Structure 1
């Protein structure tokens, strides 16, 4: 009887300690319910939240039709994960008694930063896409530029931008005028880029450089949010547990908080010690009785299992108020809260059952051993040995199973953004891809074709990176590069490219020539390695345009710590593994080379069995699925989806990175029997690339 009372109490205390008092318990439940992804995909897109999302994006120069994708940029899953981790820490601290009050506070710093970045991206795109007019009136042109600066500083694009040839003195004066509005830390880089633009007569490009730097994010929305914050960036959502919520769930939570401060593990030990003491007295009075001990353990285990079902049933879902008619959440939020509650309750029951099974199995095992020993004492020697071996093996297996429970099948439930992708072969999935991913604004490239750096691109949902690897550009290569440019562009870039030293050692990620932008390959790969370590359920690809021999590139991957992630492609005619298999093996980085090929390794030539589409498309209607390079019947297809009539611009990206354009290109290729695999664009954070690929993967056949 004592065991049937105190063992369940001890199991309950241990269960609370392993679940409610651990931040990892809540984080695991949020991951299992796919909360971070579903908030962006389902909750923030709920029509009921129109007013809230309008506040977040007020005054941005953004087409309202793109609102959903903008929200996913402002509140990406990575930012949500950081916020919910803080909430999980607060919940656990309250329930273990170390925090006096439960404070539901969220640090909005990532969102505020993203609002500013989103505003900058779209503002620069609007500036670069503003109407141009040609003029020879220097005074009028400068007045329009100053007006454009004022509009940009308020988050509005200029009405129009003049094009004019300026003298060296006028270029210097106009540069000083524009850069004077920029903060001191950003001035050196901004000055160089503005000089390049003004020397070529492109005042719009100069405004596109200065605009994002002088526009401090979404001014009205950020100011409104900050007015509601405590401590600068922390949004206090109240103290619901301190306000004594009613119902069984509220009572249980307050009880856990009270007990937690007294030492949960000590109380659990006491609950197990009391029946052990009573059993000791009983055995002393009645004589040795292993059977009595085993029976007590079985009774305690059965009682604990029954108590688990009863208690979790009575307490119910702690998030039930968030699903009711009085819930402050929108309909999609209520559904999500219900899913989270179900996962929490299911995981508590599972933990309770696992702990309760220990005394039950121990009692059964003790009773079995007792019976076996008695039978052995009466059996002959051969029978004793056979039974002893069998019993030993059974005990070993049973104890191993209890202490180290195994799981059948794959442990991967979520692969590259969707549970339905885990069973897809690597070659049967479409990956959002960045063309010239290294040439980003954040990395300081002149003539950038992406906005975030490589890690930022991966955080935004990109899963394949096209990178150019070179040695530092020599003076002869610089001259050859400049000779191929149009006269005005050559005059603008020459001061930054000619006469530069070419003695920088190592490998570099460059676009065109390294003097106009470069990142050390070692540094870039180290960032990728860190991202893979932080995202264990993602498979990514790097396609290297290699202007260097394979050996030093392969060495750089190993030095960066990427060797453990590299995938060796299957032999010709053999299928690729599934994403789930790659993730379970820890091999989550596929690397292809455009030129090199090292058989028997992970560094294989992309065009050996794959192909791409033409990359010299000049108009939006010019995209085709004609094989550009590679095999005539490719296993995988790289779709090049950007315009090349002139330098890459956000305006072009906004034109062709739409869901309709991307989907039409992919479906056009699929109709020809060419299965799309990599969909590559410029300025991937502008438009619908990631969302379009996710939708295509959901609806495409396995």
Structure 2
């Protein structure tokens, strides 16, 4: 009877262990699924590891197959591809990617019946519709000019240039002539006739001033975006081509259901609604089985701990074998997307295949991590049980040796278990700082940043005599990370008169009509250049837009260098706080030669905004005078030769920050001058001159018309040089 009872006990033990294993196998799959394919962060992590966002610009959009999509545009497709970060800025890519991720996760969670890999192009359409405002104006600097002798010739030349702009072509040359007030009145109606009545009323006064002052490029930059309708036509044609606003990538799960991995995904979709309840039921059954194993072991007179941990080890072994079977039976279904038969452009296919490989690797590693944890937990428990059994036989004189042995075994086991269960940084997504991983561990003062001079004075915001074309947040989209801003109180009639007296007579006559009725009672602080009547932005409102941009781009570090003029530092600090930026501002080191934080530290803390004023300090706050920490080069270069030196202008010698003012000063900012000054080799050569003369590479490279030339490429090259030099 005892032998039969023992046999039944062993059979019951085997059955209970089998039940534990059978419950644990689906639980491992479910736990892995919740940690990976049912978690949106899993996809974001895999995209980062595949460098997918960077490769959109370097591999997907430049693909020749994409040109087919752009071939029907009524503008040169190179105008779009050359400005990809404007048509498709990183924030738009992130939003579009999140849309696809949410579709996949919604399907897997049984919220939808199918997954259609399609892209909503409406955000791109919005960006294309603003392309003219930012770039048709910028292209005006690339042409030549020719002298005309009559108003009729001049008018014909202007109309021809407008025809080119309306067709999406930057004019190759612009007429020049000195217009009298009467001549201006003859030309103005011809130009205004090209726009609607509302636009006519809005631009007439500044257009008159630009024509009168001889700034033909500025006049066309003002009116050009209004006559250019290529962007709207392009959107219309793309919508016809796409049958709406959605680009169908040609891939649906329903089309791939003959593939084993998709079948498995379908099964997950089918059971997702009941997944939580099934998991709870399996966990309860497994717990009951484990309790039964322990009780049965006690009745059989064997170790309860070894009986339970043995079941855990077998569950881990079973899960490992299941992983091998799943790996063989469920290959990556997206590997075919980079073949010639793929419906996707080769560049896009390669990125998706790389992404899927990374995702597959993460899926496998998570599954194996759970398996390893199960095995380690079981083996540790089993080993400790054996250790206790052996130690019971030791006499009292061996107590110290037993303690030492326990510590010797426990410490490495704890390390192994901790590493297995909590892999830490190995599971983290790639961290970027200012769009580059290489910059993260450099201090703030060891990085070069592209800066825009008079960043607020833009043609997009209709400043008269703009220094930039895109608005401030669009400059940030393009890679600008330092903004040189002028803050004023509203200019009074006395200030207006004083300013006009400094101008040449012709320019004064052109601008005077725009300043009539100047009021000094407008409250608050404003971003203006010289006269607020010629262009202004509300200081707090614009900083609020910067805050929103920084929230959308949480790994970017931005610097504001404010020419404070007559505005007290307390008002500037108050404007920063009113815009909701107080929690993002970092305080410079008290010692101007002290240690700055690294970009990684700034990103991690959330304090990614540095705000300087040119003249004032506000003790006890983040607001410090720029020239306590920096020196700069002269800002009044008149000819290209002046941009070849690196003489010190303001600030203290040997400061940790260096601002390279790299623009030509004239009556108004010149696109033509920017074309040469902003050439990548020109910028880089001067920066290297600074390195020789001043012992440091410029921290800030400030330019006019940052969208003309390729100053950003020069700044990227400077950061590579810094990395190679270890600075």
Q: Please say whether Structure 1 and Structure 2 have the same fold, judged by a TM-score greater than 0.5.
A: yes
Distance in 1 between the 2:372 and 2:205 partners?
Answer: 70
Q: 1:485 aligns with which of 485, 488, 503?
A: 503
Distance in 2 between the 1:444 and 1:204 partners?
Answer: 14
Matches within 5 A, 1:282-681: 289=304, 292-308=307-323, 310-312=325-327, 314-324=329-339, 326-327=341-342, 333=348, 335-353=350-368, 355-356=370-371, 407=425, 413-547=431-565, 548-570=567-589, 571-598=591-618, 601-623=621-643, 624-672=645-693, 673-681=695-703
Corresponding position of 2:20 = 3
**Conserved? CA contact 1:12–1:308, under 8 Å:** no
Query: How high is the TM-score relative to the length of structure 1?
Result: 0.86
**Conserved? CA contact 1:478–1:498, under 8 Å:** no
CA offsets, 1:502-558, max 9 Å, x none? 112222211112222222222222222222222221212111111222222223223
Corresponding position of 1:124 = 137
CA offsets, 1:49-81, max 9 Å, x none? 574486387633x9x6x8864334333323222
Alignment gaps of 5+ in structure 1: none
Distance in 1 between the 2:437 and 2:633 partners?
Answer: 30
**Conserved? CA contact 1:106–1:236, under 8 Å:** yes
Matches within 5 A, 1:7-406: 7-46=24-63, 48-49=64-65, 51-52=67-68, 55=71, 59-60=75-76, 69-127=82-140, 129=143, 131-138=145-152, 141-158=154-171, 160-161=174-175, 163=177, 165=179, 167=181, 174-183=187-196, 186-200=199-213, 205-218=218-231, 222-231=235-244, 233-244=245-256, 246-260=258-272, 262-279=273-290, 289=304, 292-308=307-323, 310-312=325-327, 314-324=329-339, 326-327=341-342, 333=348, 335-353=350-368, 355-356=370-371
**Conserved? CA contact 1:436–1:511, under 8 Å:** yes
**Conserved? CA contact 1:479–1:498, under 8 Å:** no
Distance in 1 between the 2:428 and 2:595 partners?
Answer: 19
**Conserved? CA contact 2:221–2:459, under 8 Å:** no
CA deviation after TM superposition for structure 1 residue 105, in Å:
1.0
CA deviation after TM superposition for structure 1 residue 352, in Å:
2.8
Q: Which runs of 4+ in 1 moved over 6 A?
A: 364-380, 393-405, 408-412
Query: How high is the TM-score relative to the length of structure 2?
Result: 0.83
CA offsets, 1:92-126, max 9 Å, x none? 22222222222111122233333343344443244
CA deviation after TM superposition for structure 1 residue 434, in Å:
0.9
Distance in 2 between the 1:28 and 1:430 partners?
Answer: 28
Distance in 1 between the 2:673 and 2:594 partners?
Answer: 40
Bigger drift between 335-344 and 610-619 goes to 335-344
- Name the SS for the 1:614 alignment partner: coil
CA offsets, 1:427-472, max 9 Å, x none? 1111011111111223332222122222221122111111112222
CA deviation after TM superposition for structure 1 residue 284, in Å:
6.2
CA deviation after TM superposition for structure 1 residue 176, in Å:
4.8
CA deviation after TM superposition for structure 1 residue 195, in Å:
2.8
Distance in 2 between the 1:36 and 1:189 partners?
Answer: 40
Bigger drift between 69-78 and 640-649 goes to 69-78
**Conserved? CA contact 2:309–2:378, under 8 Å:** yes
- Name the SS for the 2:701 alignment partner: strand
Bigger drift between 249-258 and 205-214 goes to 249-258
Distance in 1 between the 2:688 and 2:321 partners?
Answer: 56
**Conserved? CA contact 1:615–1:641, under 8 Å:** yes
**Alpha-carbon spacing, 1:479–1:235, altered in 2? closer, same or farther (3 Å):** same
Distance in 2 between the 1:103 and 1:412 partners?
Answer: 28
- How many residue pairs were aligned? 689
- Name the SS for the 2:41 alignment partner: helix
**Alpha-carbon spacing, 1:356–1:526, altered in 2? closer, same or farther (3 Å):** farther
- Name the SS for the 2:653 alignment partner: coil
**Alpha-carbon spacing, 1:675–1:41, altered in 2? closer, same or farther (3 Å):** same
CA deviation after TM superposition for structure 1 residue 332, in Å:
5.0
Is the radius of gyration larger for structure 1 or structure 2? 2
CA offsets, 1:107-149, max 9 Å, x none? 22233333343344443244565524343445x5444444443
